[in-house]
Amino acid sequence: MLAIDLTNKRALVAGVSDDAGFGFAIAKALAEAGASICLGSWPPALGIFTKLLERGKIDESLTLSDGRKLEFERIYPLDAAWDTMADVPQDVRENKRYKEQGDFTIEGLTTRLREDFGEGGLDIVVHSLANGPEVKSPLVDTSRAGYLAAVSVSAYSNVSLVRSLSPLMHPGGAFLSLTYLAGERVIPGYGGGMSSAKAALEADTRTLAFEAGRRWGVRVNAISAGPWASRAATAIGFIHTMIDYTSANAPLPRPIQATDVGHTAAFLCSPLAGAITGSVVYVDNGYHAMGMAVAATRDG
C-alpha cells in the first residue's frame, strides 16, 4: 500500500493559535502521517491557546484517527511582522502580551529551533500566517501602512522563514504556504491589500522554489484553498457568503473541509511529492476552473 509516511520528520507550523483554522488541520494531518509537530503562535493569543490545551478544552479536536492525542513538541511565540528584536517598536516590546515571551521574532524562532534540535533538525515548515488590518476596506481606500502591513505578514514573512530556516532543514525539506484565489481574480470585499499580498505570496513561491532549491535543496509550494470559516476569516465579514457562492458554483458543489487542505498538505510535504516545487495547488472543489457562474434554474 502506498502511504504518506512522515515518521521521524519534524514540522513547524507557523500561525496556529486555535483549533479552527487550516494551520491546525495541517498540523493534525502531518501528525497522522507520523511527524512530530512544533507550532509558532502569535504572542497575544499564545496564553489563551496554551490554557485551552492545559485545561483539555480542545481535546476532542486533538484526537487522531487511531485514538492518540495530538501533542506539540514545542510551542514558540512568533510575530512574523518582525525579523529581529531591533525591528520591534518599543511599545510592542513593552506590551504585557509580548514582554514575557522573550525573542518572538523570526530570528528568535530560528535561534530557539537551532538550540532545541540543532542543524538538520527540521523537515517541514508551514506558513499559515496572514494579517490585513484594513481587510474590510476596498483596495483603493487602503492606507499605505495598511497595505504594507498586509504584505509584510502575509507574504514577506514567508521569504524570511525560507531564508532563516532552510539552513536548519534536511535536503529535500518542504516549505508550504496558504494562499487564496483573490491573488489572481477579483473577490469584491477582500480588501486592505490582502489580494496583493496573496499575489505576492504566489509569485514568491515560484522564485523561492528556484533560489532555495538550488541553494539548500528544499521545495517550496503553496495551497490555494477555498473559503473556510476559521476564526481569522470571520474578520472579512462575509465569509459565509463566499462559502455559499463557491459551493453553488464549483464543479464539486459542496463546501471544502479543513481536512481537505490538511490531507493535501501532508502529501505535498511528503517524499511522494518529491518532484513538486514552485506549484500552487488548488484545494477548492475545482472552483478556480470556472469562468462563469452557474445559471439560475428557470421554471417552465
Which residues are within 8 A (CB) of 276 and not within 5 positions of it... i.e. 6 or more apart?
Answer: 219, 221, 268
User: CA 148: distance to chain centroid?
Assistant: 19
Residue of 76, 147, 156, 190 marked active site = 190
Backbone phi and psi for residue 124, each to the nearest 5 degrees, phi listed first = -140, 135
Cβ burial of 119 (10 Å; 0-12, 13-18, 19+) is exposed
> Is 190 annotated as catalytic?
yes
CB 121 within 8 A of CB 113: yes
**CA 170/CA 153 separation, integer angstroms:** 26
Helices 157-165/194-216 angle, 10° precision: 20
Look up residue 36 and give its three cell numbers: 512530530
Residue of 180, 245, 282, 287 marked active site = 180
Match 528556484 to its residue by C-alpha cell: 210
Q: Which amino acid is at 112?
A: R
Catalytic center residues = 180, 190
